[in-house]
Amino acid sequence: GAGVSQSPRYKVAKRGQDVALRCDPISGHVSLFWYQQALGQGPEFLTYFQNEAQLDKSGLPSDRFFAERPEGSVSTLKIQRTQQEDSAVYLCASSTLQGAGKKAFFGQGTRLTVV
């Protein structure tokens, strides 16, 4: 596609509800990242995929957070039993190859509000 696409753009969840956030990376991009951005803060790393392999999940804040990329393209970030502190913008980014010198292309994010 032309860019990284995320859906939904906005999600309101009741506390305790499960949510699933989708990311469509740029076609052919091997690397995919998820970040969490709280209001007024910079993005914080959550997890990293190279193709379908989840190589780094050290940023996931709890075992309620789970991410997958089963076919090496589309990725889903799932949050179980949402809490108010999960309210944030969730950003997905993709890049070519696995080199550290590659710039990342970001989607517009999903704004999650837990009420």
Partner 1 sequence: SQQGEEDPQALSIQEGENATMNCSYKTSINNLQWYRQNSGRGLVHLILIRSNEREKHSGRLRVTLDTSKKSSSLLITASRAADTASYFCATVNLYGNNRLAFGKGNQVVVIP
41 near partner 1, rule: CB under 8 A: yes
59 near partner 1, rule: CB under 8 A: yes
Say how many CA atoms lie within 13 Å of 83 toward its Cβ: 6
Q: Which of 1, 28, 42, 70 binds partner 1 (CB under 8 A)?
A: 42
Distance of alpha carbon 90 from alpha carbon 108, whole angstroms: 9
Residue number, 40 or 70, with CB nearest to partner 1: 40
Provide the sign of the torsion angle of the four alpha carbons 42, 85, 23, 9, taken in this order: negative
Residue number, 17 or 87, with CB nearest to partner 1: 87
| Site string (87-106) toward partner 1, x via CB under 8 A | ----x-x-x--xxxx-xxxx
The residue behind tokens 């709890």 is: 62
**In the bound complex, what is the minimum distance in angstroms from residue 16's beta carbon to partner 1?**
27
Distance of alpha carbon 106 from alpha carbon 91, whole angstroms: 7
Contact present, 23 and 105 (Cβ < 8 Å): no
Distance of alpha carbon 64 from alpha carbon 58, whole angstroms: 13
Residue number, 24 or 80, with CB nearest to partner 1: 24
State the residues that interact with partner 1 by CB under 8 A.
4, 31, 33, 35, 40-45, 48, 56, 59, 91, 93, 95, 98-101, 103-109, 111
